């Protein structure tokens, strides 16, 4: 019986925005790693892991389900983003340990692969339409079959200059402002232009990033139907998911949702009522591999596919956990890409390989990767100045109202 002897957090990248959990055991050289990264609350998540750690000491590392359930209810209040992330880091590490003990990759423990590799979608953008088409073509040449299209930053197509927006006196808004109707006008035009240049051979997605009022999201979904999107992502904020029923009644534009989901009550109705086509939960924010394999099974019975969320703040360990789930889930749909620098990848020997639009895990036991703690510490010490702003200042409408998310 392998016992847990310690749990620690390793902070790295840009002043510690990545948090990697390392679970130690009483077997010489046997440990596991997992992702507990939260770019906006790294210190809080680290403290949560450290608070949970004492209850794990002496427990059997292989009892993953029991350990998960025990941590899940340990704080009484549950399904919060901080506890979920801390739990995910521990959960991934325990799966990593179990795979190493069995001398099998995690995806073999989960039932074995049902595909040769994991197809990913790329992120294309451009400030102007010709620039966007050029970026899409670049990814097509690299081998990507599904490509996300954005006009610049999130909300691009909906931004107005101060003169266009006619701001009120004493405006709270600095720079451009977001306008729902401008977005509704410009995004269908974007897809009309892209399809006129590239046809329908390439599969396209778009991320609304929850910027729109619910009724405008319904209109947009309907207007985009002729352009046959692979999916429209996060058309609604989590607080407005009941509007998906109206979207479904109005059109067949496939819907992907869940980047901000942490609670089963958020994703369950959308799945069981068949109101979305892809679930977009981040593996670490849904509390790890143990929970996400259950989400995937639920989705399978209702014809919904998985498209686990990544994003630029994510780390290679969470990406690898998603990759193992992708390899074994029959109803996998597509995986979001994530590009890391060579220096970042050097921290994680055995990391997944992204090539030609596909993500490849290796055949090594467990998650198949490790962390070089010396290099992780060095990056933490030297890369602090490049940490991005995480103030969370939102886009705003003409009158100053904050735009979600």
Active-site positions read: 154, 209
Neighbours of 152 (CB within 10 A): 14
105: β partners: 366
Any idea what DSSP says for residue 178?
A: E
Neighbours of 315 (CB within 10 A): 26
- Start-to-end CA distance of the chain, whole Å, equals 46
Helix (H) or strand (E) holding 143: none
20: β partners: 10, 35
Neighbours of 131 (CB within 10 A): 14
Q: Are 214 and 240 in contact (CB under 8 A)?
A: yes
Q: How far is the C-alpha of 29 from the C-alpha of 97, rounded, in Å?
A: 11
Q: How far is the C-alpha of 232 from the C-alpha of 211, rounded, in Å?
A: 13
CA–centroid distance for 92 within its chain? 16
Q: How far is the C-alpha of 61 from the C-alpha of 48, rounded, in Å?
A: 19
């Amino acid at each position: 019986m392998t016992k847990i002897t310690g749990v620690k957090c390793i902070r790295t990248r840009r002043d510690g925005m990545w948090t990697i959990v390392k679970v130690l055991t009483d077997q010489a050289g046997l440990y596991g790693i997992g992702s507990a990264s939260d770019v906006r609350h790294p210190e809080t998540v680290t403290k949560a892991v450290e608070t949970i750690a004492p209850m794990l000491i002496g427990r059997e590392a292989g009892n993953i389900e029991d350990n998960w359930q025990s941590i899940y209810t340990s704080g009484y209040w549950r399904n919060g983003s901080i506890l979920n992330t801390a739990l995910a880091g521990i959960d991934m590490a325990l799966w990593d340990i179990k795979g190493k003990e069995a001398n099998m990759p995690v995806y073999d423990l989960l039932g074995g692969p049902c595909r040769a590799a994991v197809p990913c979608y790329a992120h294309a953008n451009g400030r102007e339409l010709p620039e966007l088409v050029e970026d899409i073509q670049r990814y097509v040449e690299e081998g990507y079959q599904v490509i996300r299209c954005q006009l610049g930053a999130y909300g691009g197509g909906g931004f107005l200059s101060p003169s266009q927006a006619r701001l009120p006196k004493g405006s709270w808004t600095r720079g451009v402002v977001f306008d729902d109707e401008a977005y509704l006008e410009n995004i269908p035009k974007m897809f009309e232009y892209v399809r006129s240049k590239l046809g329908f051979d390439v599969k396209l997605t778009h991320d609304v990033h929850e910027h729109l009022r619910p009724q405008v999201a319904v209109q947009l979904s309907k207007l985009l139907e002729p352009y046959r999107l692979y999916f429209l992502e996060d058309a609604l904020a989590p607080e407005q998911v009941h509007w998906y029923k109206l979207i479904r009644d109005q059109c067949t534009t496939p819907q992907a949702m869940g980047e901000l989901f942490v609670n089963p009550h958020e994703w369950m109705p959308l799945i069981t009522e068949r109101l979305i086509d892809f679930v977009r939960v981040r593996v670490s924010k849904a509390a790890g591999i143990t929970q996400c394999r259950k989400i995937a099974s639920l989705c399978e019975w209702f014809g919904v596919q998985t498209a686990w969320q990544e994003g630029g703040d994510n780390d290679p360990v969470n990406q690898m956990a998603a990759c193992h789930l992708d390899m074994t889930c029959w109803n996998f749909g597509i995986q979001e890409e994530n590009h890391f620098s060579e220096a970042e990848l050097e921290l994680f020997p055995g990391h997944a390989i992204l090539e030609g639009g596909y993500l490849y895990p290796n055949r090594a036991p467990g998650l198949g990767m490790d962390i070089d703690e010396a290099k992780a510490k060095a990056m933490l010490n030297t890369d602090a100045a490049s940490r991005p702003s995480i103030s969370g200042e939102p886009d705003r409408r003409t009158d100053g109202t904050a735009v979600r998310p």
